[in-house]
């Protein structure tokens, strides 16, 4: 079993439409989707996210997250704290290298999630390109959200109609990451066909 840990934005982009979202096991490698409590905390601290995603605290979603959330033992938590400290120090040492193309450098929470991915271990799903750059420096496993969606599609967890709905919703909400747009007609050729 391989844990696949969603960051907050990846969870928010997929969880309403991919049901159930957390605890789903799929693929030949037995991937299992999970979240950490930090997602809960980030949404609850942000009035903007609570306004944009009112479904987040609906009973079905809240119960699913609480029941399938990744847990850390005391030893693992200490290892995560140490790994987070190293990751965060790397960002603070040269934040500009993570800010190419108007990106934000990975936050303390971002570093925490990557550290959880290192310790558990888990593949972290994020569309934050700064997190991808940081993960690459440390040899950590990360996927873009579209990579997860593609694997769910290949495993038959989502169908072409749902893939179309997800892309359309993200476009309508002006939340479609550039990386998703770039692969729309290649990785999802069977859904969208060739680009014109």
Output the pTM of the full model.
0.94
* pLDDT per residue as tens digits for the range 24-67: 889 989 999 999 999 999 999 999 999 999 999 999 999 999 98
Helices (H) and strands (E) in the chain, counts: 11, 5
Beta bridge partners of 142: 124
Helices 108-119 and 37-45, axial angle in degrees (round to 10): 170
* Residue ranges of the chain whose pLDDT lies below 70: 196
Count Cα atoms within 13 angstroms, Cβ side, for 176.
Answer: 17
pLDDT of res. 196: 61
pLDDT of res. 21: 87
Helices 129-138 and 74-93, axial angle in degrees (round to 10): 110
């Amino acid at each position: 079993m391989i844990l696949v840990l969603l960051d907050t934005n990846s969870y928010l982009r997929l969880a309403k439409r991919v049901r159930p979202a957390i605890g789903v096991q799929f693929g030949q490698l037995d991937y299992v989707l999970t979240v950490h409590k930090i997602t809960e905390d980030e949404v609850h601290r942000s009035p903007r996210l609570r306004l944009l995603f009112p479904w987040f605290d609906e009973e079905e979603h809240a119960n699913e997250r609480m029941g399938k959330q990744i847990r850390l033992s005391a030893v693992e938590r200490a290892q995560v704290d140490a790994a987070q400290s190293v990751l965060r120090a790397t960002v603070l040492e040269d934040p500009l290298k993570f800010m190419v193309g108007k990106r934000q450098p990975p936050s303390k929470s971002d570093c925490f999630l990557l550290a959880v991915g290192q310790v558990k271990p888990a593949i972290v799903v994020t569309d934050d390109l700064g997190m991808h750059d940081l993960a690459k420096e440390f040899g950590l496993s990360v996927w873009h959200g579209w990579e997860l969606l593609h694997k769910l599609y290949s495993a038959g967890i989502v169908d072409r109609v749902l893939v179309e709905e997800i892309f359309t919703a993200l476009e309508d909400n002006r939340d479609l990451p550039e990386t998703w747009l770039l692969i729309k007609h290649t990785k999802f050729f069977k859904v969208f066909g060739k680009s014109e």
